[in-house]
Every structure is written in structure tokens, then in C-alpha cells.
Amino acid sequence: MSELTDALRAIGLAHTATELDDLVALATKRRWSPIQLLEHVTEAELRQRAKHSLDRRLKRSKLGGFKPIAEFDWAWPTRIDRDAVDAAVRLDFLDGARNVVVVAPQGLGKTMIAQNIVHAALLAGHAALFVTAAQMLLDLGAQESTRALDRRLRYYCSRPVLCIDEVGYLSYDARNADLLFQVVSRRYERKSLVLTTNLAFTDWPTIFPNAACTTALIDRVVHHAEIIAIEGESYRRREAQAEKPPRRPKPKT
């Protein structure tokens, strides 16, 4: 059995090698035919490889923990297009390399929606990457040579789905604007982009106050894009207020 186990591993059937004793016992108990045994081995290997592939994509995506879309409080925002969100989570936008842009003030769940879109893409077998605008621009700006920068740009542009979170929370200089423009431009009409921002596009010049490429950047983001606008008060602020202990009345003197 040890020689057979080694041979199975050598030809890439690692799961079968690991479960060989149990597999032989099960096949004997159920009196499987050779075809039934091969079918079981094939199905088990495919399931295990699909799991390993998903695990690798999840790790490389940098997605981390997040709340599932089932926990989203649809009744809280004063304005939200649920059908558009559902379509994005279904990955309808991937046909035609379209973009999804979620525009909302802080605390209304735009990052949660974006994370669920990325997770759906990973489950569907796509490679995806989740990164904040600050993280990506810091990484690109730290490259010390043209070759190194091009390598990192290819890293951000090679995934079928790239999510850039939190555009608008910080202001950037012209070089950072150019770097973001390069990412968006390289992906334009080739691969899909998911982007979240707390600012309307008319306010984007405040993010890149000295950049000449802001208008061209916006044009490439919104062209072929589904814009999901959310309005309302911060959900996190509501939760924080609900968690505050009630004020005790002052004792009368």
C-alpha cells in the first residue's frame, strides 16, 4: 500500500493517496465495479482540487473577513437600488468587462457590498483582488524603478476583477493620480473594476487637486459602468448610539 500511495502522489492524486485505506474499505463494502471506483476517485479529486483552487484564490485576493450580503440591512438606507446590487453580486457586469461603482457616504455598507462582489467572483472561479486605494497607491509609489513599477502595475491589472476600496477618503498628489489612471486605463474595456467612493464624481478633483488626468480618469471609470448610489445616515453611527448606555437622571438636590 505504501508503494501505491507514493505512486498516486507522484501522478498528482494526492487526495486519493491520503484516503486510500478508507477508499479501499468503502469500495469493498459497497462492492463497487471498476467503473464505479474510478467515478468516485475522479469526483473526489475534482472536489478537492476545486477546494484547493478556491483556497488559493481567497488567499491571494487579500479579501479577509466580511459580512455576507444576507446580513445587509436593506431597510436602513433612504435610497438604494437593490436590483442593481443583486445583479452585481451575480456578476452580471463581467460580461463585456464592465465596472461597478458604489457611491455612498461613510457607514452605509459600500465596502460590504464590494467585498461580497469579490467573494462571488472567487466562488465563480475568477481571480480577484481587494485593495484600498491608499494601499495600492502606496505600493505603486514605493517602486524605485520603471521595471519594478511596471511589474506592480501588471499585478493590479492582470486579475479579472480588481476592487479598489475607499477612493475619496484621502487626497493625493499628481503622481498618485497618474498611477491610479494607469491602473484604470490598462484595465479599461479589458477587465472589470469594482470601485467604492464616498464622493460624487463632481467632487473627485478634491481628491487629486493638482492632477491633469482627473477628467480622463473619471471618464474611464464610469464608461461601461453600473453606478450604485446609496443615500442615508451612517449605519455604524446608529449601532454606536444603540450601544451607548442610557443616561442616568441627575439626582435631585
User: Domain containing 81 — which CATH number?
Assistant: 3.40.50.300
For the chain, what is the domain count?
2
Closest CA to 186 of 226, 151, 139: 151
Of 109, 117, 119, nearest to 80 (Cα)?
Answer: 109
Based on the fold, state whether residues 77 and 12 are members of the same structural domain.
Answer: no
> Are 244 and 124 contacting, i.e. CB atoms less than 8 angstroms apart?
no
pTM of the model: 0.83
pLDDT reported for residue 208: 86
35, 57, 79 — which closes off a domain?
57
CA distance 50 to 36: 21
Residues 89 and 20 in one domain: no
pLDDT of residue 171: 87
Could you read off the pLDDT of 58-102 as tens digits, one per residue?
999 999 999 999 999 999 999 999 999 999 999 999 999 999 999
Residues 52 and 146 in one domain: no
Q: Mind listing the pLDDT tens digit for each residue in 215-243? A: 999 999 999 999 999 999 987 665 555 55
Closest C-alpha among 137, 139, 77 to residue 113 = 77
- In this structure, the answer to whether residues 39 and 157 fall within a common structural domain is no
For residue 232, the enclosing domain spans: 69-238
Q: What does the pLDDT profile of the chain (253 residues) look like in tens digits?
A: 789 999 989 989 999 999 999 999 999 999 999 999 999 999 999 999 988 888 999 999 999 999 999 999 999 999 999 999 999 999 999 999 999 999 999 999 999 999 999 999 999 999 999 999 999 999 999 999 999 999 999 999 999 999 999 999 888 898 999 999 999 999 999 999 999 999 999 999 889 887 788 899 999 999 999 999 999 998 766 555 555 555 666 666 5
47/70 Cα distance (integer angstroms): 26
Note whether 88 and 185 are same-domain residues. yes
Angle 235-199-111 (CA atoms, 0-180°, nearest 5)?
A: 45
In angstroms, the CA 222 to CA 200 distance is 12
Distance, in Å, from the CA atom of 1 to the CA atom of 161, rounded to the nearest integer, reads 45
